[in-house]
């Protein structure tokens, strides 16, 4: 999964993701990825996520993550 672009439709930031050669549009509040990642913010170059993962003791914890724009990659 790669971020390939971003749009700003009527004031609502939208990111374009490529997954298996298909393009998807995502917005803040959507969920993304295998770790229950909730999209918090979309900028021109990055998607910021809050994920829920298990730590070494087996407890569930939140962590921040990001997906950066991949320019020129196919």
User: With contact defined as beta carbons under 8 Å apart, do 9 and 26 qualify?
Assistant: no
The whole-number pLDDT of residue 40 equals 98
The whole-number pLDDT of residue 72 equals 65
- What is the separation, in whole angstroms, between the first and last Cα of the chain? 11
The whole-number pLDDT of residue 74 equals 52
The whole-number pLDDT of residue 68 equals 96
Residues 26-71: tens digit of each pLDDT: 999 999 999 999 999 999 999 999 999 999 999 999 999 999 999 7
The whole-number pLDDT of residue 73 equals 58
Q: Does domain 2-68 have CATH number 2.30.30.830?
A: yes
């Amino acid at each position: 999964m790669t971020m390939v672009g971003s749009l700003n439709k009527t004031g609502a930031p939208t990111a374009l993701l490529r997954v298996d050669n298909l393009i998807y549009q995502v917005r803040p509040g959507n969920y993304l990825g295998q770790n229950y990642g909730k999209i918090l913010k979309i900028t021109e170059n990055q998607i910021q996520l809050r994920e829920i993962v298990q730590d070494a003791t087996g407890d569930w914890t939140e962590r921040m993550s990001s997906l950066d724009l991949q320019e020129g990659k196919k």
